[in-house]
A = this chain, B = another copy of it.
Amino acid sequence: MSHHLVEVRDLHFAYPDGTDALKGVSFRITHGESVALVGANGAGKSTLLLHLNGYLTPTRGEIRIGETPLIRETAAAVRRAVGMVFQDPDDQLFMPTVFEDVAFGPLNAGLPPDEIEHRVVSALERVGMAHLRDRPPYKLSAGEKRAVAIATVLAMAPDVLVMDEPSSHLDPRGRRRLIELLKSFKHTKIIATHDLELVVELCSRVIVLDDGRVVAEGQAVELLNDETLMLAHGLERPHSLRHLHPH
For A17, list chain B residues within 8 Å (CB). Answer: 136, 139
A179 to chain B, nearest CB (A): 11
Verify A143–B240 contact, CB threshold 8 A: no
A234→B141 CA distance, assembly (Å): 15
Of A4-12, A37-45, A67-75, A150-158, the one with at least 4 CB within 8 A of chain B: A37-45
Q: Does A100 contact B (CB under 8 A)?
A: no
Q: Does A171 contact B (CB under 8 A)?
A: yes
For A88, list chain B residues within 8 Å (CB). Answer: 90, 142
Among B15, B19, B147, B197, the residue within 8 A (CB) of A41 is B147
On chain A, which size bracket covers the interface? Answer: 35 or more
Verify B139–A235 contact, CB threshold 8 A: no
Query: Given the known A-B contacts A15-B139, A197-B239, are A171 and B87 also in contact in the complex, defined by CB atoms under 8 Å?
Result: no
Integer count of this chain's copies in the complex: 2
Verify A165–B142 contact, CB threshold 8 A: yes
Please report which residues of chain A, range 119-174, place their CB below 8 angstroms from some CB of chain B when the two chains form the complex.
136, 139-144, 146-147, 165, 168-174
Q: Does A196 contact B (CB under 8 A)?
A: yes
Q: Does A236 contact B (CB under 8 A)?
A: yes
Query: Given the known A-B contacts A169-B87, A169-B165, A194-B169, are A143 and B235 also in contact in the complex, defined by CB atoms under 8 Å?
Result: no
Q: Does A46 contact B (CB under 8 A)?
A: yes
Q: Does A176 contact B (CB under 8 A)?
A: yes
Verify A168–B171 contact, CB threshold 8 A: no
Verify A176–B236 contact, CB threshold 8 A: yes
A147→B235 CA distance, assembly (Å): 16
Verify A40–B168 contact, CB threshold 8 A: no
User: What are the 6 tightest A-B residue pairs by CB atom distance, in nearest-first order?
Assistant: A41-B143, A172-B236, A173-B234, A239-B239, A171-B234, A42-B141
A–B pairs, 27, beta carbons within 8 Å: A15-B139, A17-B136, A40-B173, A41-B141, A41-B142, A41-B146, A41-B147, A41-B169, A41-B170, A41-B174, A42-B140, A42-B141, A42-B143, A42-B144, A46-B141, A87-B142, A88-B90, A165-B169, A170-B194, A171-B235, A172-B194, A172-B196, A172-B235, A173-B234, A173-B236, A176-B236, A239-B239
